[in-house]
Structure 1
């Protein structure tokens, strides 16, 4: 845990040489420590949210010309005094300034310690603090929007409302315990049952949102599979609009997986081109086929590609039956329709999960991209959705749901107030774990140790 009496310092920009580097100080002595090495205006006498030009000096030696940005508590990210020194991006200059600031009384910050202080000082709750890390790591428009929505408190506000409603009933039940000898009932059981049903439904919806939230955050594992020479590599190239995979008329050209990222409407799909599925003719091809099956089992979406000219209906149905796995969405892609007449194309078997394409001529590739998107994302994203993206939150919500089910069972069984209060308290505890109303040092250490230093 952090000692808030100490002033911490770290580089807030990526390490290495660059145009500028920003060194961040936070703590009670941040301004005075910065002033002790700053030659320019007296920073201790300046207003918050002002920027001042000057030199960083070590005795008579000038280390660099800098800009010092001043944020006076509580009007800062951490709600402490904060100074951000913008210097030239030389690794030597940055290291020299940080060493000087430590010499003057600062301490090197631990990973995530600035955000930890923001949480401990009430600037944000725990789920918002975790959203900071998600926002930094976001690599698509959708993941950025979800993290930003959580950082703004969308998830927290919804949980806080649920928690407040439960707290009210818990208080009434606690009051009943104080008058247990008089056999009075302050908490209306029908109202409590309705509230618990409502909260359980909302919690269940949040739990279900994790699949989508996790896909947005981490991307969607998408495997392209099929028989040799079905056109899998040609399709990968067409989707990426570049010659990424080697294309050959010879079967078995792809012997290992090829992985690339395709962004469709803000969602990252991790495309994995695999070896053709058939009886292997040598040991290396056999390994490739085994890896194909492993990748399919690990995927969220399977794009099965077949050569519409070469395969029979029986073979097609057999392949689909063999490849379908529980929990894995599947798209059927009939390739090489450029070799067919319009009448023959219309006669090909297809349903809502089938797309007819020519990968070579890039026919219906945009249609396929739309199908890929909707196979993973079932509705249009607005950026205002409350989605669960964190496994810690998911587990806490699942435990909350279990406790609420016990509350409902207890009401139906007409259990005594003390047992009912215990189950409600348990639900409140798990909800509180998400926002940080309930924390332990180990929990905070585990969360913030994964942050980058300087944030």
Structure 2
């Protein structure tokens, strides 16, 4: 049996609050089974094996009143989520019933759990490391196939195993450097500098790869912000409504209807896109409010991950489209997708000619802008548009997320940056013949940064910051 470090027993509602068919109240701690047994009709529960279900009633000992008919799932230490004795009581999902059940268990000696305390106990009792614990929260929050897949991979320890292997290799050399410090007066080298340089090159490459994956991980976890920009009446709000399949934005033939931005999300092939409909761009806004809207549009473009420049195919020339895109993205390393709207008003020959002229006008450009043709009002061309959006944001790494290690957590990325900086310092020290003391110090700092990710090195403040972001029952 695992020796736990907690003497109290916690309880909380683990399902979302609000009326429903069922609710699950979870207890964890040394008295979880005894507390449940004291109010449960099946008195044989304390002697029951773990991983068993028990049907019965909950009764208030002080009044004799039966509160509910429930099913209690029993998990014995160490074979539970927290590695403590755990009981999960499935009761009816009435708010009143849940309050009564929680109150009853609190009166019997349980304590109301703090935010994330069940997962925190799982971490402190050795059931998972810190990166895996954070993946629990990511898994709960996942809202697309890719974010679910990445979170599940981290929960199963893929990222943690890679970090442990890196640290193990570095620790061997760090130990040899520390040994040199113990024999400093004898001027003996235990750590082969050539081998250390080769190891540093390999480890720095892995850390750089993990850091590079954060850009992709951030997209998977938080979605891609796509700003829809263009002239007034190009059909931006109509396109937003078509993509969302609902009347989210007001559509009017009057130019400048959208004065502020409107945004909403949609999942496309497992990726979450946040589309932002903006005020139309023109040099002479009709009034001060529209001018503010245009200014905000330009600000939102600077914050975008992708610009969708929408234009009326019948009103603009290819040269005008290219010029406006260049003006809007000047100084920005921003991927752009040009979308020609209102194909229902242009003949197939006119559409083909426009597309040919658009492509010809970009010959010689380092990053030519791709173009898609749609009729937003008739919801035509949306499949082609979605395919083009996926092509713009989908790199080869996205195709391999089932097995690849993807960093999605800002804390992890910051720790990797710190580790990379200290590993670079070690490399510079080797190149300049730096003393063992400084090499060892930088290597220790790099190891500490990597250890902070998995919790091998942690502080109470760090743990509090992480677990208070969880829901109460997790």
TM-score range, shorter chain: over 0.9
Q: Which residue of 2 is the match for residue 413 of structure 1? A: 432
Q: Deviations over 1:170-223 (max 9, x none)?
A: 111112222222222221111111111111111111111111111111111111
1:48 aligns with 2:50: yes
1:443 aligns with 2:445: no
Q: Are the aligned partners of 1:300 and 1:327 in contact in 2 as well (CA < 8 Å)?
A: no
Q: Which runs of 5+ in 2 are unaligned?
A: 360-367
Distance in structure 2 (CA, Å) of the matches to 1:101 and 1:392? 37
Distance in structure 2 (CA, Å) of the matches to 1:212 and 1:337? 34
Q: Which residue of 1 is the match for residue 69 of structure 2? A: 65
Distance in structure 1 (CA, Å) of the matches to 2:93 and 2:380? 49
User: What secondary structure does 1:38 align onto?
Assistant: coil
- The 1:3/1:110 distance shift into structure 2, 3 A limit, reads farther
| Residue 453 of structure 2, aligned match among 408, 431, 434 | 434
Q: Which residue of 2 is the match for residue 13 of structure 1? A: 15
Q: Which residue of 2 is the match for residue 32 of structure 1? A: 34
- The 1:242/1:10 distance shift into structure 2, 3 A limit, reads closer
Q: Which residue of 1 is the match for residue 228 of structure 2? A: 224
User: What secondary structure does 1:95 align onto?
Assistant: helix
| Residue 123 of structure 1, aligned match among 124, 127, 132 | 127
- The 1:362/1:54 distance shift into structure 2, 3 A limit, reads closer
Q: Deviations over 1:215-239 (max 9, x none)?
A: 1111111110000122212222332
Displacement of 1:248 in angstroms is: 3.0
Q: What pairs with 1:292-307 in structure 2 (closer than 5 Å)?
A: 292-307=297-312
1:358 aligns with 2:380: no
Q: Deviations over 1:94-132 (max 9, x none)?
A: 111211211111111000000000000010000100010
Distance in structure 2 (CA, Å) of the matches to 1:358 and 1:88? 50
- The 1:18/1:241 distance shift into structure 2, 3 A limit, reads closer
- The 1:241/1:101 distance shift into structure 2, 3 A limit, reads closer
393-402 or 213-222: bigger deviation: 213-222
334-343 or 392-401: bigger deviation: 334-343
Distance in structure 1 (CA, Å) of the matches to 2:314 and 2:249? 22
1:335 aligns with 2:352: no
Distance in structure 1 (CA, Å) of the matches to 2:434 and 2:277? 58
55-64 or 163-172: bigger deviation: 55-64
Cα RMSD (Å): 1.7
Q: Deviations over 1:232-276 (max 9, x none)?
A: 122223323444333333211222222221211111101111111
Displacement of 1:316 in angstroms is: 2.2
- The 1:389/1:327 distance shift into structure 2, 3 A limit, reads farther
| Residue 424 of structure 1, aligned match among 418, 440, 443 | 443
365-374 or 429-438: bigger deviation: 365-374
Displacement of 1:360 in angstroms is: 3.3
Q: Which residue of 2 is the match for residue 23 of structure 1? A: 25
| Residue 381 of structure 1, aligned match among 388, 396, 399 | 399
Distance in structure 1 (CA, Å) of the matches to 2:287 and 2:107? 65
User: What secondary structure does 2:83 align onto?
Assistant: coil
Q: What pairs with 1:274-353 in structure 2 (closer than 5 Å)?
A: 274-278=278-282, 279-324=284-329, 325-348=331-354, 349-350=358-359, 351=368, 353=370
Q: Are the aligned partners of 1:41 and 1:54 in contact in 2 as well (CA < 8 Å)?
A: no
Q: Deviations over 1:333-385 (max 9, x none)?
A: 12233433444323320355222333234443212111112222213434222
| Residue 171 of structure 2, aligned match among 160, 164, 167 | 167
Distance in structure 2 (CA, Å) of the matches to 1:373 and 1:232? 19
Distance in structure 2 (CA, Å) of the matches to 1:46 and 1:363? 62
1:150 aligns with 2:154: yes
Distance in structure 2 (CA, Å) of the matches to 1:276 and 1:352? 20
1:92 aligns with 2:92: no
Q: Are the aligned partners of 2:302 and 2:332 in contact in 1 as well (CA < 8 Å)?
A: no
Q: Which residue of 1 is the match for residue 365 of structure 2? A: none
TM-score, L = length of structure 1: 0.96
Displacement of 1:29 in angstroms is: 1.0
Distance in structure 2 (CA, Å) of the matches to 1:98 and 1:384? 42
Distance in structure 2 (CA, Å) of the matches to 1:117 and 1:183? 47
Distance in structure 2 (CA, Å) of the matches to 1:187 and 1:418? 13
Q: Which runs of 5+ in 1 are unaligned?
A: none
Distance in structure 2 (CA, Å) of the matches to 1:19 and 1:338? 50
Q: Which residue of 1 is the match for residue 417 of structure 2? A: 398
Q: Which residue of 1 is the match for residue 363 of structure 2? A: none
348-357 or 228-237: bigger deviation: 348-357
User: What secondary structure does 2:90 align onto?
Assistant: strand
